Each structure stands twice: as structure tokens, then as C-alpha cells.
Amino acid sequence: MEQVVELKEMGEGIIRIKMQDRVSKNTFSMELIAGLADAFKTIRNEPRYKVVILTGYDNYFASGGTQDQLLALADGKAKFTESDLYSMALNCPIPVISAMQGHGIGGGFAMGLFADFVVLSRESFYTTNFMKYGFTPGMGATFILPKKLGISLAQEMLLTAKNYRGEELQMRGIPFPVVPREQVLEHALELAETLVEKPRASLIALKDHLVAPLREGLPAVIEQEVMMHDKTFGQPGVKDRISTLFGR
């Protein structure tokens, strides 16, 4: 059986994290969460690595919370802060490239945006679909989307919960490369190869400096998102929406 999260060296100093939970279509299953935590821990403790490429499999990058997780949130039995998926790339000491070759859905899209570099696929869908179910966004989405996409597009994505193809986002002027799906990993590798030419200590020092405002500002927004969840998950109809609309 293939690993749900696979680590593979892609060249000197370059390590790829491949999310491939085919059973759950890369929703945040317990196996995927544990695998990502182990992968980033391994990378943190390995001084040979200079850059990480985070990617998915086939048509899926990351698909957000499972249906059971969303229902547990609605019942007040869980909080998304029980794992730090949303901040793993941000807190990784070395640069992380999100090679989003497949769909990025809900918290999965937000997680990818916390990387230092982002590459999208023209054909894939990207969405922050929290409001589709009637509850407000989590996973730091209300923080990272305005930072990375601009306030106007971020508000539209968060409030409408619409699906956007990568090609459409490219036309809207997002500041990331958008390439055909089969070229996403190749593009990420070319970028990684320009990074590994630099000394690891310098990469770490500069990343620490560049992302310091994000690391400092994120906790307060996470608290606000949790407070909004306390208000919105318990509304009438939310559990019904999760039960009937999930996966559509």
C-alpha cells in the first residue's frame, strides 16, 4: 500500500511532500494529518534540505475537512485548531512551494496559500467553500486570502463560496504562476532549483524575516475565526447542509 503522505528527494536539497490519500480524496483524514505532521517534523530535523515542494495526486491537491469533522465541529465536539495544518508551511524553517496541481478546496486551498510560493493549475478548481454550508471560514482563510490574493478577490471568494478555475483566477490577476496541470510540478522544480543555489542559513534567515508579520498576526485571527465558528456552526440548517451538500 502506498503511503498517504510520501516524502521523496527530488534533487540535492529539494524534498517533495506528496499528499495521496486516495480513499478520502485528500480531505483532512486523520492519516493525512498525522502524515503531514511527521513529514514536516522530519524536514525540520534534516539539515540537508533547503526547499520543500508540497503537492497532491492526480486531480486533488487538498480538499479540506472531512464530512465527519465538519459535523463534529457543528456539534461542538471539535475545533479546527486541534491540529496546526494551516500553519505547517508557514512555520517550516525553509521555503515551501505549494504545487497545487489539483483542486484546492476550503481549508485545503487556505493551507496551500500559507506556503512561500504557490503554483496553480489552469484546469483545477480553487474555492473557499465554507459559506456553502452556512458556517464562516476557518483554517486561517480570512487571514491568508486577503494577504495573498488581495482584499477584493478574497472577500468575493470567502463570501460567495464559488468555485474558480485556475485559468479564471489568472485572468483576475492573481500574483502566482498558473500553468497546465502537467506542468505544475515541473514549474515548482525549476523554482526550487533556483532556491537550492543559496546557502540554507540565508534561506532560513530571510524567510524568518519575510514571514514574521504573518506568524505574529495569525494567532489573533485564528481566535476570531473560532469565535465566529461558535456563533455560526450551531445555526439551524448547517448540519443539514453538511449532510446533503458535502462533496457536491
243: in domain: no
Contact 218, 143 (CB under 8 A): yes
35: in domain: yes
Q: What are the residues facing 104 on neighbouring strands? A: 62, 126
- Residues in CB range of 189: below 8 A, 6 or more apart: 10, 11, 14, 53
Q: Enumerate the active-site residues.
A: 229
Q: How many domains does the chain have?
A: 1
User: pLDDT (tens digit, 0 to 9) for every residue of the chain, 248 residues total?
Assistant: 579 999 999 999 999 999 999 999 999 999 999 999 999 999 999 999 999 999 999 999 999 999 999 999 999 888 898 888 999 999 999 999 999 999 999 999 999 999 999 999 999 999 999 999 999 999 999 999 999 999 999 999 999 999 999 999 999 999 999 999 999 999 999 999 999 999 999 999 999 999 999 999 999 999 999 999 999 998 999 999 999 998 77
90: in domain: yes
Cα 68-79-161 angle, rounded to 5 deg: 70
pLDDT of amino acid 22: 95
| CATH value at residue 165 | 3.90.226.10
Residue 143's domain spans which residues?
5-181
- Residues in CB range of 20: below 8 A, 6 or more apart: 2, 3, 4, 5, 6, 26, 56, 57
209: in domain: no
pLDDT of amino acid 1: 53
